[in-house]
């Protein structure tokens, strides 16, 4: 009897976790369009050295995402609801040099964005070498505005 109760409890918790983890993808449409903006590194010394980073983003009605971070291209990007951060997450790869004439280089980008308000969204960006764990990840804050 004890085993059966534990099994039922584990199955119930597993079902709750799966249901709660499923985000409402209908809100992803708020990001459709062309976006531009800038980001600032949280590390003050890095920010002083590298300055402001320009961002562009294009999200199509098919949720295909392209864009740029500095002079580099964002490719293979996907958007999803991010329940952990109460917002949205865009993850992609970076091809090319982010800043001209600078050794600063990263391979991956993650944007953690809040809901769109008045054609603007804010959040964080993470520039990293991988999506798992990166001691040299460079985070910052980002503001994106929809192009008219």
Q: Is residue 9 part of a domain?
A: no
pLDDT of residue 9: 47
Split at pLDDT 50, 70, 90, the class of 10 is very low
Which run of H or of E encompasses 110? strand 108-113
Rounded mean pLDDT, 136-141: 91
DSSP code string of 58-75: EE-TT--EEEEETTEEEE
Range of the domain at 40: 26-146
Q: Is residue 64 part of a domain?
A: yes
pLDDT of residue 4: 57
pLDDT of residue 102: 85
Q: Is residue 51 part of a domain?
A: yes
Rounded mean pLDDT, 117-140: 89
More confident residue, 57 or 104: 57
Burial class of residue 54 (count of CB atoms within 10 Å of its CB; 0-12, 13-18, 19+): middle
CATH at residue 118: 2.40.160
Q: Is residue 121 part of a domain?
A: yes
If you count them, how many residues does the chain have?
Answer: 148
> In the chain, what percentage of residues exceed pLDDT 90?
66
């Amino acid at each position: 009897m004890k085993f059966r109760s534990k099994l039922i409890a584990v199955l119930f918790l597993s079902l709750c976790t799966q249901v709660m983890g499923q985000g409402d993808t209908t809100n992803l449409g708020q990001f459709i369009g062309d976006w531009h903006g800038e980001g600032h590194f949280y590390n003050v010394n890095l920010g002083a050295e590298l300055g402001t980073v320009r961002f562009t983003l294009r999200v199509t009605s098919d949720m295909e995402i392209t864009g740029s971070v500095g002079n580099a291209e964002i490719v293979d990007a996907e958007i999803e609801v991010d329940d952990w951060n109460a917002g949205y997450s865009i993850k992609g790869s970076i091809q090319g040099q982010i800043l001209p004439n600078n050794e600063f280089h990263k391979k991956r980008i993650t944007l953690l964005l809040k809901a769109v308000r008045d054609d603007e969204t804010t959040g964080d960006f993470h520039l990293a070498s991988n999506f798992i764990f990166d001691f040299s990840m460079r985070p910052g804050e980002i503001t994106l505005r929809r192009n008219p």
